[in-house]
Structure 1
Amino acid sequence: MTEEQQRQQAAREGKADWHRFGPYVSDRQWGTVREDYSADSQPWTYTTHDMARSYAYRWGEEAIGGICDNQQLLCLAPAFWNGQDAILKERLFGLSGPEGNHGEDVKELYYYLDNTPTHSYMRMLYKYPQHAFPYDWLVQENARRGRYKPEFELSDTCIFREDRYFDIFLEYAKAGPDDLLLQITVHNHGAQEAPLHVLSQLWFRNTWAWGTAAYQPRLSAPAKGSIVVEHSSLPGLQLYYEQPEGLEAELLFCDNETNARRLYGATNSTAFCKDGINDYLLHGQAAAINPARQGTKAAVHYQLTVPPGESRVVRVRLAAAGLAEPFADFAAILNQRKAEADAYYLALQTGIDSPDARNVQRQALAGMLWSKQFYYYDVAEWLRGDPALPPPPASRWQSRNHTWPHLNNADIISMPDKWEYPWYAAWDLAFHCIPLAQVDVDFAKNQLQLLCRDWYMHPNGQLPAYEWKLEDVNPPVHAWATWRVYKMEKKQRGQADTAFLEGIFHRLLLNFTWWVNRKDRDNRNVFEGGFLGLDNIGVFDRSAPLPTGGHIEQADGTAWVAMFALNMMRIALELARTNPVYQDLASKFFEHFLYIAHAMTNMADQRIDMWDDEDGFYYDVLNAPATGRFPLRIRSMVGLIPLCAVEVLDMDTLQDVPRFVHRLNWFLDHRPELAALVSRWQEPGKGQSHLLSLLRGHRMKLLLRRMLDEAEFLSEYGIRALSRYHLEHPFVFQREEGVNAVVDYEPGESTTSLFGGNSNWRGPIWLPMNFLLIESLQRFYHYYGPDFKVEYPTGSGRYCTLLEISQALTQRLTNLFLRNADGQRPCFGQDRQLQTDPHFRDYLLFHEYFHGDTGCGLGASHQTGWTGLIAKLLQPRQQD
């Protein structure tokens, strides 16, 4: 057992709270729904990047590479000033949704390089230009560009030309649970010496200004060498700062309070507002900082001059009071934690021979661990407003999320992307838990349990989607993730946590009931569900009323619920091993699955199926008053999702559940029209197993013929979200006289404004859907075995087993990140600096999705959340 694993065990057993402090500070808090108190529900304009330095947040904090405790009472993070910028670099800059020509987007270069599960060692890199940061240029050029042009990125400004930038490495190490070391190493890559102001900022989240709590903590510096932390929940802490020869530290204090004069022309509650350090340092306003050296925000300020090609180091330590020589063992502790992190990943990556692959996986997992965030949102309190502030407008009670007053979140949660998506999303979180379980299965289990708590789940059984619209509908993959994490823990630890499985199962019974009662409009086992996460994949916004009237019978919505039913059946069968009562529930979910399978292939009197045998594909069906029912013939991921509804039951499982088997045999004997839909239930497969699937062998081969065709879905780097067929053959729907809605193949950024235009399901490659398809092929192989082969790629004349195809798809996906024979990483696209510069080429970004033809990374640049699944795909399969 490595040292890091021993710390994990100590935390699990309650012996040491190694998780009390971590990277739980958001990359962005401005522009979030939580901070929006507007009358018109416009988060992007209620708090902006320009306001952020002066605005005291209500619900959370933001920083560059910041850490805090697990209730975010105290935060520590660096800040920088290159002597050229108009504002102190305390936070990452990016465009709001309306500002970006493809939606919101961070315009910085930063990388999460290393992290351990207990955050005993963490490392990230921030690239800071030596020229003035081009804030205005980025805003103006992206505003000028339309949706048919690519985003204008920081690297496009040529600000890194001639290497006029700093590489700033942040390293955190823990000497103990409450003893944290921060080392900031600044490298000057330019040809001339360059000045840089480096600040280590310490501040309290503002918990006192809202009229809900009177207690106010304090930071002070009664003596040289440290800042004293006075907080009733964090007793005895001090921030020690180093005073190396020739480098004088300056202490700056202000208050984490809004500068109401600057923002609103109103009276301030303090003379030393949140932006006081910024105003003192950049504008020489001595009155902006507290001469008494006390407040709720403080900074240790160093002014460096870094020679060309050299580096400088700044160190601080947050630890218990009374350390006589806080920096005597600093280097030894930092080096030890780094070595322990190396040992931990060496053990984890057994079987991965390629150094490049190990680097990719380690950075993917680092991004997963860095993307934890303290997420605080009490909807009832948010709707009411705060006693110390003017009440919100009456319209607020009918605004965003007003039907979720029970939701009260204050937890450490895995974020999709702490800048672009600094809020959890139900289906994102389920995917996050798979790579997270590789390194911290306890945290993965905690995440799955959180969304099922009473203060998260709606009383009607719905899971919260995301803060922009809690009532929206995400694909029901929670049961799938629960089962996967359960099996991963059983493999890792040699024992099963059935209490975890049983607890979530009971909560998901409520969620399944919600789906059946709310999303099956005509009680025919045909489900809608809204947009289901696949934002702009269709001709309509499926989460809004249709312009045609009527509704869409969704192939993906119905398949998702079929998959949900099979997942619940499988969990019930596992629980039935020790409690026979679950056999009846397993039977119930088996029957649900059959009724859904029947509905997908027999749309009764209208004779219009979701399945089209001539095309060999599933389509959504539009049910409109004026036109009746007809299929929307769009070859998209919607039609591939039925592949994911598959389960294989082997004889070892079935022999333990005789009542379940008896009920199944009775049901199939007495419902022959349903039994015919099950893929050869009566015919045992490889190893005496039985298959439950929406697709029999014939249909599966037809569907795979489309999916594995390089002229359609199969890209060099995975499965596209939309068939390339629509490049030459767009789908056109006449919405009204002279007005058409069109779906065509878009391999890169979206050209539609639907859902803000910041994501695109009309052609690019998405990791989570590819991951599900790969797993489904593996399950099909478990039943069919090596004798069942499919042409791969379509038209090649080469036939492969389903296992071989799953492995080939895995290789295509991992090739997105790995260097090819030319030394290029496809995810970097045509960016020469990223591809060849030694200070860029081995630092990875994990994008939201990837260009359907070139593999270039697109969308949110730090979507380690579900793109972190690449860490699982890189792991040898036998270790699962």
Structure 2
Amino acid sequence: MTAEHQRLAVNAAKKIPLEQWGPYLSERQWGTVREDYSPYGDAWHYFPYDHAHCRTYRWGEDGLGGISDFFQNLCFAVALWNGKDPILKERLFGLGNKEGNHGEDVKELYYYLDNLPTHYYMEYLYKYPQQEFPYKKLLEENRRRSREEPEYEILDTGIFDKDEYFDVSITYAKQNARDIFIRVDIRNRYHKAAEITVLPTLWFYNRWNTEDYQDKKPVITSRDRNSVKAAHNRLGAYYFYFQPPQYTLFTENETNLEKVSGTPNKTPFVKDAFHEAVIRNKDLETLRQKRSGTKFAPVYHYLVEPGETKSIYLRLSNRILENPFGGDPAALFQSRKAEADAFYKAVLPANISPEIAAVQRQALAGLLWSKQYYHFDVERWLTTSDGITPVNAGKMNGRNHDWKHLKNQDIIAMPDKWEYPWYAAWDLAFQTIAMALVDPVFAKHQLMLIMREWYMKPDGQIPAYEWNFSDVNPPVQAWAALMVYHIEKDRTGKGDIGFLKRIFQKLLINFTWWINRKDANGNNMFEGGFLGLDNIGVFNRSHSLGGDFQLEQADGTSWMGMYALNMMDMALEIAMKDDSFEDTATKFFEHFVLIAEALNEQGMWNEEDKFFYDTLSIGRSPVQLRVQSVVGLTTLFAVSVIEKKTLAKLSDFKKRITWFENYRLKNNRYWPNEEHSDGEQTLLSLVPQKRLIYLLERLLNEEEFLSPGGIRALSKYHEKHPYTINIGGTDYNVKYDPGDSTSDFFGGNSNWRGPVWIPINYLIIQSIRQYGKFYGDRLLVEYPAGSGKKLDLESVADQLTGRVISLFRKDKTGRRPLHGKYNWFYQKPGNEHLLLFYEYFHGDTSHGLGASHQTGWTSLVAELISELASRPATQAPAAAKQQNVGATSQ
């Protein structure tokens, strides 16, 4: 057992399996719903980036490569100044939703290089320009560009063209859970010497200005030239040790009212005082003389020669230490790095190339860096003021006003700590699958957390995301719970039945909510709205068209079929240990049959196109919305194989489904089961074999869904054949859009009309693999369609996995598809190993788009690598072997 596994075992025994300190500091708190106290609900306008350095937050903190304790009482991050910028670089810059031509977007270069589940070792890299940061240029050019043009990124500004920048590496190594060494390395990548000022900053989250604060105000006080004491009633005392600086600065984490509202400040000790002191020498001596405060930084100023690295060692500990940097401070970092190497050697496949191992490890590092303290009490947010805007009727009756029960204060894995620094229900489900590779206990905790009473609505609805908790995400929690359960069981040999029982009870409540709220006609055909797919539809599916129009969704129905089947599978797994769950398994089995019947026989299948579509009822006349998209492909996801030995042990379940089958067949009713001739396995699926083959013909066609990097969200067929429908006198259109979104649905910052999305690819691959396990070599399909080469379905799944992994692989010229036109930068010496994990990928070129650090669900590539590596090469035909990417034999 590695040292990290031993630490994880200790955490697993805790009620909440967390380390007290971790990367829990957000990378963007401004522009969030939580900080919006306006009457009009425009979070980006109410708290813009320009206010972030001078205005205190109410619900959390943010910083650059930082850490905090798990209640975010005390925070640490690094601030920088290149001698030219108008502000300190304290946080990552990006555009608000209405400032970018494709919505909000971070405009920085930063990378999550390494992390352990317990955060005993963490590496973060930030690239800081030596010329003035191009804030204005990025803002103006993106505002000028249309939706048909690409985003204007920081690498487009030319500021990195000549390597005139610093590599700022921030590395953490814990001595123990409450004793953390920090090293900040500043390397000059330019061919001339350059100056930089570094402020390693410690501060308290400002809770003391809230109405209900009763504790003594925390304080950081000077001890000597190289240490301060941070005292907090609940956290206790911590000591921050630092190597000799040029000088130290104290201030208060208080709003600069003069800048924000024009009200004169009572003292110069405000949140952005360090900016004024370092850059403009304003009140510098006053701040240097101050001996206490709620924000503190030692200040280091260096002239760094070409290629030189300056290192700063710091230490945050709950102990008084006479010689905090005694001996060789680098030794602990080397030791923890070795422990990280040992841990990943133990959990990652041994039979993959170093290149693919690096992809997998960085994906998991980003996922672990995405843990964030999330604090939001909706009732308190609605009924209190932020000290700037009074409580108002607009907010009281506006966004999320009916979610007053929601009171969150937890560490949660975020989709992206800058672009999406708030949890999303289905993102989190996907995140737990990759998390299970390294920390299954935390993965299970996250799935349970979102269904606790302070998250789930009393009626059973799971909160979608903070912009609108009432929006509906696909119900993938049961599927994710099963995936996490089996990943842990496969790795440890023991399945956590207790976890399945606990989450099953919560899922029952949510499943009932879906049945009662999203099946308006009671015909087992479901709605759901946008279902996380933003602009996939011809119109915004979250908004009613009014009148006699009613939408019944192929994906809503398919997700519910998948949900019912997942619940049945979960009940069967539990019933093998506790037969009281047999009845429930039967209930979900029968519900699945009814949903399958509705999907296949009530107008969603188009025999001409051989595809499933949403149907829009106009009065009594249903019209199919003939858009060939992932909406129709979700029908593949509901598939399960029941083994004969399961049926043999659960005799009551077998008796009931046999009766149900006989009854339905006798009365010429739809039946979704298929059995092997030997009776050893039974296949349950929404899609009959004949229709499965039709769908696969489209799925595996490179002129339709199959792209170089995986399955597109919309068929390329619509490039030459845009879809148009007139509804109530208005024309609605969908065309193939392989890159950035050209529509403004849901802010216009993501696009489901052509790009490749890894979570959908993951579901498709898992589903095809399930079909393959049942059909074996009895069902072969052309791959790619029209090639004349036939493969069994498990080999097709291997091929698709290979395409997704290829997004991150170097080609013969050293270029990675995901970097697109920026490969010139990532082929430079020292940058070849750097990866970004984008939200989605261009449907034709495979370059990355959307959020650039979406290791939330793009980290699923790590699980795909493990799965492909576990496949015996002898099982795959020769063509599939060629795609068995990353094998050491290559």
Q: 1:7 deviation in Å?
A: 1.3
Structure 1 residues 775 and 63 mapped into 2: Cα distance closer, same or farther (>3 Å)? Answer: same
Question: Contact 1:17–1:177 (CA<8 Å) still a contact in 2?
Answer: no
Given candidates 610, 628, 631, the residue that maps to 2:624 is 631
Partner of 1:725: 717
Q: 1:675 deviation in Å?
A: 7.8
Matches within 5 A, 1:74-93: 74-93=74-93
Matches within 5 A, 1:380-529: 380-386=379-385, 391-529=390-528
Structure 1 residues 875 and 388 mapped into 2: Cα distance closer, same or farther (>3 Å)? Answer: same
1:834 paired with 2:825, answer yes
CA distance in 2, matches of 1:93, 1:365: 24
CA deviation vs aligned residue, 1:426-464 (integer Å, no higher than 9, x gap)? 000000001100001111001000011001000000100
Q: 1:549 deviation in Å?
A: 4.9
Question: Contact 1:10–1:16 (CA<8 Å) still a contact in 2?
Answer: no
1:262 paired with 2:259, answer yes
CA distance in 1, matches of 2:642, 2:352: 34
**Aligned Cα RMSD in Å?**
1.7
Partner of 1:316: 314
Question: Contact 2:798–2:868 (CA<8 Å) still a contact in 1?
Answer: no
Question: Contact 1:357–1:818 (CA<8 Å) still a contact in 2?
Answer: yes
Matches within 5 A, 1:161-240: 161-215=161-215, 216-240=217-241
> What amino acid is aligned across from residue 230 of structure 1 in structure 2?
A
Partner of 1:800: 791
CA distance in 1, matches of 2:601, 2:610: 16
CA deviation vs aligned residue, 1:62-86 (integer Å, no higher than 9, x gap)? 0011100000000011110000000
Partner of 1:3: 3
Instruction: Please state whether the residue corresponding to 2:466 is helix, strand or coil.
Output: coil
Given candidates 250, 264, 271, the residue that maps to 1:253 is 250
Structure 1 residues 390 and 51 mapped into 2: Cα distance closer, same or farther (>3 Å)? Answer: closer
CA distance in 2, matches of 1:687, 1:821: 49
Q: 1:575 deviation in Å?
A: 1.2
1:663 paired with 2:656, answer yes
CA deviation vs aligned residue, 1:742-781 (integer Å, no higher than 9, x gap)? 1000010011111111000000000000000000011111
> What amino acid is aligned across from residue 192 of structure 2 in structure 1?
Q
Q: 1:674 deviation in Å?
A: 8.4
CA deviation vs aligned residue, 1:652-706 (integer Å, no higher than 9, x gap)? 221221111111011111122788643444x336771101111111110001111
Given candidates 270, 274, 292, the residue that maps to 1:273 is 270
1:711 paired with 2:710, answer no
Q: 1:222 deviation in Å?
A: 3.2
CA distance in 1, matches of 2:389, 2:28: 25
Partner of 2:354: 355
CA distance in 1, matches of 2:726, 2:537: 14
Question: Contact 2:268–2:283 (CA<8 Å) still a contact in 1?
Answer: no
CA distance in 2, matches of 1:443, 1:576: 25
CA distance in 2, matches of 1:547, 1:539: 16
> What amino acid is aligned across from residue 271 of structure 1 in structure 2?
P
1:819 paired with 2:818, answer no
Partner of 2:690: 698
Partner of 2:671: 678
CA distance in 1, matches of 2:109, 2:537: 33
Instruction: Please state whether the residue corresponding to 1:289 is helix, strand or coil.
Output: helix
Partner of 2:755: 764
Q: 1:839 deviation in Å?
A: 2.6
Partner of 1:777: 768
Q: 1:731 deviation in Å?
A: 0.1
CA distance in 1, matches of 2:266, 2:181: 34
Partner of 2:886: none
Matches within 5 A, 1:267-346: 267-268=264-265, 270-286=267-283, 289=287, 291-329=289-327, 330-346=329-345
Q: Which moved more, 1:544-553 or 1:332-341?
A: 544-553
> What amino acid is aligned across from residue 629 of structure 1 in structure 2?
P
Query: Alignment identity in percent?
Result: 48
Question: Contact 2:363–2:837 (CA<8 Å) still a contact in 1?
Answer: yes
Structure 1 residues 308 and 389 mapped into 2: Cα distance closer, same or farther (>3 Å)? Answer: closer
Q: 1:548 deviation in Å?
A: 6.7
CA distance in 1, matches of 2:16, 2:484: 24
TM-score by length of 2: 0.95
1:612 paired with 2:606, answer yes
Instruction: Please state whether the residue corresponding to 1:373 is helix, strand or coil.
Output: strand
Structure 1 residues 584 and 492 mapped into 2: Cα distance closer, same or farther (>3 Å)? Answer: same
Instruction: Please state whether the residue corresponding to 2:311 is helix, strand or coil.
Output: strand
Structure 1 residues 71 and 772 mapped into 2: Cα distance closer, same or farther (>3 Å)? Answer: same
> What amino acid is aligned across from residue 570 of structure 2 in structure 1?
I
> What amino acid is aligned across from residue 667 of structure 1 in structure 2?
F
Structure 1 residues 253 and 533 mapped into 2: Cα distance closer, same or farther (>3 Å)? Answer: same
Question: Contact 2:19–2:118 (CA<8 Å) still a contact in 1?
Answer: yes
CA deviation vs aligned residue, 1:794-851 (integer Å, no higher than 9, x gap)? 1111110000000000000000001123321000112242342123221000000000
> What amino acid is aligned across from residue 564 of structure 1 in structure 2?
Y
Instruction: Please state whether the residue corresponding to 2:811 is helix, strand or coil.
Output: coil
1:585 paired with 2:588, answer no
Question: Contact 1:721–1:761 (CA<8 Å) still a contact in 2?
Answer: yes
Question: Contact 2:597–2:671 (CA<8 Å) still a contact in 1?
Answer: no
> What amino acid is aligned across from residue 321 of structure 1 in structure 2?
R
CA distance in 2, matches of 1:271, 1:140: 33
> What amino acid is aligned across from residue 808 of structure 1 in structure 2?
Q
Question: Contact 1:686–1:783 (CA<8 Å) still a contact in 2?
Answer: no
Question: Contact 2:249–2:290 (CA<8 Å) still a contact in 1?
Answer: no
Q: 1:13 deviation in Å?
A: 3.0
Q: 1:857 deviation in Å?
A: 0.3
Instruction: Please state whether the residue corresponding to 1:439 is helix, strand or coil.
Output: coil
Structure 1 residues 797 and 277 mapped into 2: Cα distance closer, same or farther (>3 Å)? Answer: same
Partner of 1:606: none
Question: Contact 1:416–1:424 (CA<8 Å) still a contact in 2?
Answer: yes
* Gaps in structure 1 of 5+ consecutive residues: 604-608
Q: 1:735 deviation in Å?
A: 3.5
Question: Contact 1:730–1:743 (CA<8 Å) still a contact in 2?
Answer: yes
> What amino acid is aligned across from residue 225 of structure 2 in structure 1?
K
Q: 1:10 deviation in Å?
A: 2.1
CA distance in 2, matches of 1:334, 1:841: 23
Question: Contact 1:257–1:269 (CA<8 Å) still a contact in 2?
Answer: no
1:646 paired with 2:639, answer yes
CA distance in 1, matches of 2:382, 2:584: 39
Q: 1:872 deviation in Å?
A: 0.5
> What amino acid is aligned across from residue 571 of structure 1 in structure 2?
M
Question: Contact 1:686–1:784 (CA<8 Å) still a contact in 2?
Answer: no
Instruction: Please state whether the residue corresponding to 1:862 is helix, strand or coil.
Output: coil
Partner of 2:72: 72
Structure 1 residues 308 and 685 mapped into 2: Cα distance closer, same or farther (>3 Å)? Answer: farther
> What amino acid is aligned across from residue 507 of structure 2 in structure 1?
L
CA distance in 2, matches of 1:876, 1:704: 22
Partner of 2:737: 746
> What amino acid is aligned across from residue 323 of structure 1 in structure 2?
L
Partner of 2:846: 855
TM-score by length of 1: 0.97
CA distance in 2, matches of 1:680, 1:426: 31
Structure 1 residues 675 and 507 mapped into 2: Cα distance closer, same or farther (>3 Å)? Answer: farther
* Gaps in structure 2 of 5+ consecutive residues: 872-890
Alignment length, in residue pairs? 868
Q: Which moved more, 1:660-669 or 1:284-293?
A: 284-293
Structure 1 residues 424 and 92 mapped into 2: Cα distance closer, same or farther (>3 Å)? Answer: same
Q: 1:331 deviation in Å?
A: 1.4
